[in-house]
Structure 1
Amino acid sequence: MIWNKIESAPREKIEELQLARLKDTVERVYTLTPFYKKKFEELELKPSDINSLEDIKKLPFTKKQDLRNHYPFGLFTVPMSEVVRVHSSSGTTGKPTVVGYTQADMDVWDEVMARAFTMAGANSEDIVHNGYGYGLFTGGLGFHNGAGKIGATVVPASGGCSERQLMLMRDFGSTILTCTPSFALHMAELASTAGNNYLKDYKLKAGIFGAEPTSIGLKEEVKRAWGIDYHEVYGLSEIIGPGVACSCKSSPLLHVFEDHFFVEIIDPKTGESLPDGERGELVITPLTKQALPLLRYRTGDITSIIKEPCKCGRTLLRMESIVGRADDMLIVNGVNVYPSQIEHVIANAQGVTLNYQIIADKKGYLDKLEIKVEVSDEIMSDNISEMERIKKDIQTALLNNLYIKASVKLVEPRSIERSMGKAIRIIDKRV
């Protein structure tokens, strides 16, 4: 089922709509945002110079620091009397990035999230257990309102309180689960302590997961643990929140809602555009945002895009799952590696779980990498030969597949702290 017919429109129609909306957005920021007007003047550029989608390359990039430099409302293009909602990042690394929404922006957000729920097979008959955090974080309310748009019943569980969440899911008969994949796996582990047949107590049929880069192995583990269809949603608060893209039932690739978001892939070092199918940094220009329209926002997320239509009937271009972040990439003795690549290796190992932690340090002038991995409940820690075999298999796979030499330390089940939100996988002691 498709929520909006634009999702299956001919590419010519989609691109025609994109161009019209891009021109409007460029004119809007040039007229209403001194920051962008100055950028245009520095580039000797005017809105009238944008006459094709290819011309978007003429426009300046926007970075997270630009939002911080204009904290809190300096990049808004409407008076606060027209702003009906404000969200922000956590601000743990400095000033938070603040985003605002007009009622028109809220309507767009509800629309794209309704599309995501429809991709997961949800409708007004479903009960959505929303385990994303509410408050300034965009996840909880973004999913909440999208579920309401399709008429589903929403359980606003928020994050944490795992045992209570399991009780509510079981007693209310929830059919759709929305939360981070790491939290979904954590709850499945907790539910399984009740016995091997715990799934009979739940009615879940699908989940919509996001907010953290996730390997194929972790996705498969969540699917297996809950016996559900796995759908991945992508978004970020600076653009709208969750709802930029979502996967359907036919493919793990994510459909980008192109009528509202224009996406590019660039080389993160040079800023040059990369061809379809090649991995690079994702750049997004929202095409319909009123309160906070941004030009060519550099997300820092690494992915690739393709334009081939999907078997589901949608013609929207598709992006692969986020491989990692440009600023989360580890360089270990000259080798570039992302946590999700390490996670994929761990997922293929026997006798361990997907709860792990990467610790980077220095030994003299060389990088040293240690990876802590929890063993599964079935592995006996006193079986030294078995533990050594598992460690050796993982170390060999890391060397053969990623060309990195790492020390693997196997630890007891549930000894690595779980995250209720985004999993913190890396501790870099070199900086």
Structure 2
Amino acid sequence: MYWNPKIETMSRDEIKEIQSERLVNLVERVYFNVPHYRHAFQDKGIEPGDIKSVDDLKNLPFTMKSDLRDSYPYGMFATPISEIVRLHASSGTTGKPTVVGYTRKDLTTWSEIMARALTCGGVKRDSVVQNAYGYGLFTGGLGVHYGVERLGASVIPISGGNTSKQIMLMQDFGTTVLTCTPSYAIYLAETMEKMGIDPKSLKLKNGIFGAEPWSENMRTEIENRLGITALDIYGLSEVMGPGVACECNAKDGMHIYEDHFIPEIIDPVTEKVLPYGTQGELVFTTITKEGIPIIRYRTRDISVLNAEVCNCGRTHVRMGKVMGRTDDMLVIRGVNVFPTQVESILLEIGETEPHYQLIVSRNGNLDELQIAVEVSEAMFSDQISGLERLQKVIAGKVNSILGISAKIKLVEPNAIPRSEGKAVRVIDNRKL
């Protein structure tokens, strides 16, 4: 196991001391090496000497995804390209991708953090990890891969897709840990059912799932269908990649590796820092990265921070499950709606498949929400009265819990497109 009690059970004062020392060094380095930060500091009237501890973090400017895009490709790098040994990038579906670079030391640090995260998630040296995150410019696949190797476990670098082969390798290679998106884990479970394969016949014990928000009810669904322990992992390319935080078996929040990342929760509108226990937008500052260090990066992810000591003994701050994103959040007739809220309602009712889409349109000046939900073959072939009853149950729950009316459309199995990566949950047809 890759367990570091000296680091992971430090007191809050010790964590603050390490963070303060590293933050001071970071601020000086980016001021002199990254023009964007030098100008951003000057605009706020800040010089490196003004930052003396982590208490001064709130005075520093935020970094936005647009800042990375505007500096494409290497403008945010703090080291020359000759010292960068690997490049990753986002998909760039809305324009130029965001580019991140890693020095050799960054890769060593990332591997060590990821090994810690995997250990936190129950991976051991004798584990066989089937890594179904995508390899390539996306950080997920290679991030997990190098962490598994650093830990000393066995990795199967299958990447995403090729579902029937995934299942064959689980059987033949004795996979004990599955890493992929939660929506793909459900898809694997569905495919096993169609193939007549009982998950209990496999050696699979654990799943570490991330890259998209998922609810507690989705966790229950995955655990029941695959017969495993399903844990959440968090990361994003701009901050490091996977491994920024990971759950332990207590399933009470993801441990953030605070010796490398300083987390904050802010009000996304006022940008004020919020206290622990308050829901808001997650912000990260990296304090050990060399290639592309980042200050107060607004993730757009909605979460909550908990500084209490975990039952597992780890003392680093934990983040709750991501509730959604400020840029995924739908505002429908003045009501904030996240896909995970709808997912939780559907899974709680339990008469539908875990595949759905929120389709928003505008009729005149009025927003209309339609929720397309898959039902089983038996239910879809049942009497119309049964389908009408289920529609009313779902509509009633959505109305009572979210405070908004929605049209429920029940569709046949496989009508909603599957994804081997992140599931597409929202289609917004409004011209906003």
TM-score of Structure 1 vs Structure 2, range by shorter chain:
over 0.9
What is the CA-CA distance between 1:276 and the residue it aligns to? 1.0
Task: Give the structure 2 partner of residue 64 of structure 1.
Answer: 65
Task: Give the structure 2 partner of residue 7 of structure 1.
Answer: 8
In structure 2, distance between residues paired with 1:93 and 1:267: 25
In structure 1, distance between residues paired with 2:284 and 2:424: 25
Unaligned runs of 5+ in 2: none
CA contact (8 A) 2:266 2:272 kept: yes
CA contact (8 A) 2:2 2:115 kept: no
Report the residue type matching 1:9 in the other structure: M
Equivalent runs, 1:24-423 vs 2, <5 Å: 24-195=25-196, 198-423=198-423
CA contact (8 A) 1:251 1:310 kept: no
What is the CA-CA distance between 1:52 and the residue it aligns to? 2.3
What is the CA-CA distance between 1:392 and the residue it aligns to? 0.5
RMSD (CA atoms): 1.1
The SS at the match of 1:389 is helix
In structure 2, distance between residues paired with 1:200 and 1:242: 28
CA contact (8 A) 2:200 2:227 kept: no
| Matched-pair identity in % | 51
Q: Deviations over 1:18-62 (max 9, x none)?
A: 111111111110111111111111111111111221210110100
The SS at the match of 1:348 is helix
CA contact (8 A) 2:143 2:241 kept: yes
Report the residue type matching 2:265 in the other structure: I
In structure 2, distance between residues paired with 1:200 and 1:34: 56
What is the CA-CA distance between 1:375 and the residue it aligns to? 0.6
Q: Deviations over 1:393-431 (max 9, x none)?
A: 110000000001000011111221111100010000002
Report the residue type matching 2:308 in the other structure: E
TM (norm. structure 1) is 0.98
In structure 1, distance between residues paired with 2:350 and 2:207: 26
The SS at the match of 1:353 is coil
Report the residue type matching 2:23 in the other structure: L
In structure 1, distance between residues paired with 2:241 and 2:104: 15
In structure 1, distance between residues paired with 2:377 and 2:219: 20
The SS at the match of 1:178 is strand
What is the CA-CA distance between 1:119 and the residue it aligns to? 1.3
Runs of 4+ more than 3 Å apart = none
Q: Deviations over 1:277-325 (max 9, x none)?
A: 1111111000101000111011111101010000000001111011001
Q: Deviations over 1:175-202 (max 9, x none)?
A: 000000000100110001233x612331
Report the residue type matching 2:280 in the other structure: G
Report the residue type matching 1:88 in the other structure: A
In structure 2, distance between residues paired with 1:130 and 1:175: 11
What is the CA-CA distance between 1:378 and the residue it aligns to? 4.1
CA contact (8 A) 1:231 1:252 kept: no
What is the CA-CA distance between 1:167 and the residue it aligns to? 0.5
In structure 2, distance between residues paired with 1:204 and 1:396: 38
What is the CA-CA distance between 1:120 and the residue it aligns to? 2.0
In structure 2, distance between residues paired with 1:177 and 1:164: 14
In structure 2, distance between residues paired with 1:21 and 1:184: 38
What is the CA-CA distance between 1:251 and the residue it aligns to? 2.4
What is the CA-CA distance between 1:350 and the residue it aligns to? 3.1
Q: How many corresponding residue pairs?
A: 430
In structure 2, distance between residues paired with 1:193 and 1:252: 33
In structure 2, distance between residues paired with 1:360 and 1:76: 39
In structure 2, distance between residues paired with 1:350 and 1:233: 25
In structure 1, distance between residues paired with 2:143 and 2:194: 32
What is the CA-CA distance between 1:252 and the residue it aligns to? 3.4
In structure 1, distance between residues paired with 2:221 and 2:147: 26
Report the residue type matching 1:343 in the other structure: E
The SS at the match of 2:39 is helix
Q: Deviations over 1:342-367 (max 9, x none)?
A: 11111111320110011000112111
In structure 2, distance between residues paired with 1:90 and 1:48: 37
The SS at the match of 1:94 is coil
CA contact (8 A) 1:360 1:368 kept: yes
Report the residue type matching 2:347 in the other structure: A
The SS at the match of 1:327 is coil
In structure 2, distance between residues paired with 1:334 and 1:41: 38
TM (norm. structure 2) is 0.98
CA contact (8 A) 1:27 1:47 kept: yes
Question: Is 1:428–2:423 an aligned residue pair?
Answer: no
CA contact (8 A) 2:34 2:78 kept: yes
Report the residue type matching 1:363 in the other structure: N
The SS at the match of 2:283 is strand
CA contact (8 A) 1:351 1:378 kept: no
CA contact (8 A) 1:126 1:153 kept: yes
The SS at the match of 1:93 is coil
Report the residue type matching 1:156 in the other structure: P
The SS at the match of 1:185 is helix
In structure 1, distance between residues paired with 2:9 and 2:225: 33
Report the residue type matching 2:303 in the other structure: T
In structure 2, distance between residues paired with 1:373 and 1:104: 47
Report the residue type matching 2:299 in the other structure: T
Report the CA distance shift for 1:406/1:293 in structure 2 as closer, same or farther (over 3 A): same
Report the residue type matching 1:376 in the other structure: S
